[in-house]
Structure 1
Amino acid sequence: MSKLTLLLEAISSLSEAWADASDSNDLSRKQLISAMEAVGVARRRLDAVQVDIAAGLAKESRADLGADSLAKQHGFRTPAKMLSTTLGVSTGDAIRLIKVGESTAARTDLLGARLPAKYPLVAAALEAGTLGAPAASLITVLLDRCRMAAGAAQTQEGERILVESATGLAIDDVRKLIVRAEAWLDPDGIEPREQERQAQRSLTLFERDGFVHLTAKFDVESAAPIVSALRGYVSATFAARKEAVDPEGDKRSVPMLQADALSLFCAHMLECKAKGPNLAGATIIVRMTLTDLQDETNTGSATIDGIDQPISASAARRMAANGGTIPCVLGSESEILDWGREKRLFTRAQRLALAERDGGCAMCGLPPEMTRAHHIRWWQRDRGPTDLDNGVLLCETCHHRIHDNDWNIRITGTGIKAKVWFVPPPHIDPQGTPRLGGRARYDLAA
């Protein structure tokens, strides 16, 4: 079917979902969900039409046409300006539409024979409505950037993995996926990019309107202790609120808590004999393979819990030598990670393993320090063991949501490479289609 036919089909589904309602107030919950899903498909299929038109407009407005440029004939300097004015989007968004269109449109060789698109899998996903233009833009920009370093074969494999992994993800989650993918496609480029970012780190202060303003920009290695300490303070404060006599007494927001934490840390440094603020056991955890840790010639990468951007193996080795940092080296069998029913609470080693598998809250993605290890089958009621395959990291909100709304959790596979699946109850999804959670949503596996 053509792109236009698929778009009309999606609009027809939306019309059925909306039925005879005059506005959203007339829709039942089931109709709202159906309408939302239909809008999503229609919007993504409309994106496919838009990028196609954008590519055609750019082709008919290329510089070598001079005065015959379609955009110039209609009074616009560039096709992007014409597109942004017509569609009511920013020039930057218009440029992205054009670039996606050029990357996914069919091509011709010097003899006029048709060739497949530069990125055919992205094109197919756009046409089917499983991928929108924003996600397609992130993927194609990354593939273009890493194309020379990765080579043709790995670029094709990267396109396949990214299209499959990005399907069903929010655009913010696609950005996390892209960060991981760049380290996989161009591992040799991680350290040079780190050096560039380190050279750009800065912190400036100025006073205005009775406030002192801080504007800061840190490379990941420098930011890791800051992020860990601030989040640890916030987590400790939330834990203290639960135990307080007046739980409504402390109503500071997270930004306020982080500002207070920074002030407390600096005050503590000025008088180091004073007892430091509670950080809820905040620790920097750097995760890397044993090979990357030991082989200084290796150009591998590592990750820091709670930070999306990977770091180079050399940066991880430097951090592993510092105090307050735990190097979580994968591949070692030196610790017992399954305790059966001998222990009720998950050990620190088990929490590290769960953090490696889940990446934080397995449902919503909050960082590990803002989660707790929960038994999937309850330890007391269901006699569930304190093992990795019966444990999951969840924030308090998601923990209550799962129990209050009768979600089920399944673990497939074993150890840190296992996958966490959330199965919605019948009133949310009658088919009970499992939804992938945890770190596996963003990890790339060729």
Structure 2
Amino acid sequence: MSGLHEAMSRLDEAWADADDAGDLSREQLITVVEAIGLLQRRLDSVHVDVAAGIARESRPELGAESLAKQRGFRTAAKLIAAATGISTGEAQRLVKVGEATAPRSDLIGSRLPARYPLIREALGSGALGAQAAALLIALLDRCRIAAGAERIAEAERLLVAAAEGLELDAVRKLVVRAEAWLDPDGVEPRADEQRARRSLRIFERGGMVHLHAQLDPETAAPVVTAIRGYVSAAFAARSDAPFPGAPDADRRTVAMVQADALSVFCAHVLGCRGDRVPLAGATVVVRVGLEDLQSGPGSATIDGLDQVVDIGAARRMAASGGVIPWVLGGASEILDWGREKRLFTRAQRLALAERDGGCAMCGLPPEMTRAHHIRWWQRDRGPTDLSNGILLCETCHHRIHDNDWEIVIEGSGVSGRPWFIPPRAVDPDRTPRLGGRARFDIAA
């Protein structure tokens, strides 16, 4: 406790001649913030010891005599969280740090050193805070079996020395590097596990499109490198502005520039005609009336998104080549190939996207579908024509062919309407179900 009192005294001295932070000089501000940091770390040392004590007095084998249960809490972490105003997860971390750094006893009651005595010492001196200690302890526990006791002891010494004075984010980086050193054979399996957890979720809420990505390092590397390079170039270009208040000065935040970078990169890829990126015919299609696009008010929609965009956005996209004109069959593009071609052309896919709006059965956006022959090319000698084509995602494609659904196209060209006729096992009456974009058409 003497260390805690010392830290409190230092803070009192720093504030001695000031009523509030506004009265402090720059030097005093630094002195105060350093004193606060030391006080927090010293307080953490006391806190983890107390947390370990509460956990010890609340262990399950005590039953009704458990301290936490007597106080009306299910666990020690719940009691600590309620008493200190922190989350249950944070309280549990305090307990784990306390248990890992508290002196132990053997079966006959003899005192044993803490599992991690150097971390305990660093906590007591204020060199480490509880959060940094928790990161180090979690690492050493993970690698304890793979590395062996001697290497873990060496790692504890090196990590405590390296972590002192580092902010928490830097400690996390330190832990990543140290884990590769402690358990080199575990790097590849961890990478495989991380890659298996990679994901990107896209959803719409509140008029905005949200992207939530979780990427393994290999997948993230080109993404992060490209976006950061774009941001660096954007900020470097700001120095070329005539003066800071110029009307065309770039005032975007870093987050805004990063969002713009992602859009620019994807737009560039969509414009490529090579086969290096497997986009399966993905194309940004903005639907807007020609008169509205040229001069009138109005709005537009974008394939694959539910939100309506303003006409100004549609015009900007048109100016950058982002709008596909739906004058289908023009520019010498043939939409019906009969038996001359097996695969649907890009123009035919765009026409099918206009008619089906994506997967004609479940509604997934066009870029997640493939153009399929209704009457199979090989088995049924079906032609590669719009009347024999339909956009389906892989799941719906298998569902239709495996379960004997039938597809009928009513009408012709992009104005046709696909109908799905279920098998009798699904609907004894085999009532046709309308599919494609027609499902969402609003009757005049």
Give the structure-1-normalised TM-score.
0.59
Unaligned ranges ≥5, structure 1 = 275-446
| Change beyond 3 A, Cα 1:23–1:223 | same
Deviation at 1:272, TM superposition (A): 2.1
Structure 1 residues 1-400: aligned runs within 5 Å: 4-245=1-242, 248=246, 249-272=249-272
Instruction: Specify the SS of the correspondent of 1:81.
Output: helix
State how far apart, in whole Å, the 2-side matches of 1:17 and 1:235 are: 40
Deviates more, 1:8-17 or 1:23-32: 23-32
Q: Deviations over 1:95-151 (max 9, x none)?
A: 000000000000111111111100000000000111111111111111111111111
Deviates more, 1:226-235 or 1:99-108: 226-235
State how far apart, in whole Å, the 2-side matches of 1:263 and 1:28 are: 46
Deviation at 1:185, TM superposition (A): 1.1
State how far apart, in whole Å, the 2-side matches of 1:104 and 1:153 are: 18
| Partner residue, 2:333 | none
Q: Quick one: which amino acid aligns to residue 196 of structure 1?
A: E
Deviates more, 1:117-126 or 1:212-221: 212-221
Deviation at 1:61, TM superposition (A): 0.7
Instruction: Specify the SS of the correspondent of 1:243.
Output: coil
| Change beyond 3 A, Cα 1:28–1:205 | closer
Deviation at 1:22, TM superposition (A): 2.2
Structure of greater Rg: 2
Deviation at 1:90, TM superposition (A): 0.7
In the TM superposition, structure 1's runs of 4+ consecutive aligned residues that sit over 3 Å from their partners are 244-248
Deviation at 1:242, TM superposition (A): 1.4
Deviation at 1:191, TM superposition (A): 0.8
CA RMSD of aligned residues (A): 1.6
| Change beyond 3 A, Cα 1:20–1:120 | same
| Matched length | 271
Q: Deviations over 1:370-416 (max 9, x none)?
A: xxxxxxxxxxxxxxxxxxxxxxxxxxxxxxxxxxxxxxxxxxxxxxx
Q: Deviations over 1:9-28 (max 9, x none)?
A: 21112112211422222333
State how far apart, in whole Å, the 2-side matches of 1:262 and 1:26 are: 45
State how far apart, in whole Å, the 1-side matches of 2:132 and 2:53 are: 21
State how far apart, in whole Å, the 1-side matches of 2:123 and 2:29 are: 24
State how far apart, in whole Å, the 2-side matches of 1:205 and 1:71 are: 43
Deviation at 1:158, TM superposition (A): 0.8
Deviation at 1:246, TM superposition (A): 5.1
Deviation at 1:71, TM superposition (A): 1.2
Instruction: Specify the SS of the correspondent of 2:239.
Output: helix
State how far apart, in whole Å, the 2-side matches of 1:213 and 1:27 are: 43
Q: Deviations over 1:398-438 (max 9, x none)?
A: xxxxxxxxxxxxxxxxxxxxxxxxxxxxxxxxxxxxxxxxx
State how far apart, in whole Å, the 1-side matches of 2:154 and 2:202 are: 46
Q: Quick one: which amino acid aligns to residue 271 of structure 1?
A: G
State how far apart, in whole Å, the 2-side matches of 1:61 and 1:140 are: 22
Give the structure-2-normalised TM-score.
0.59
Instruction: Specify the SS of the correspondent of 1:206.
Output: strand
Q: Quick one: which amino acid aligns to residue 140 of structure 2?
A: L
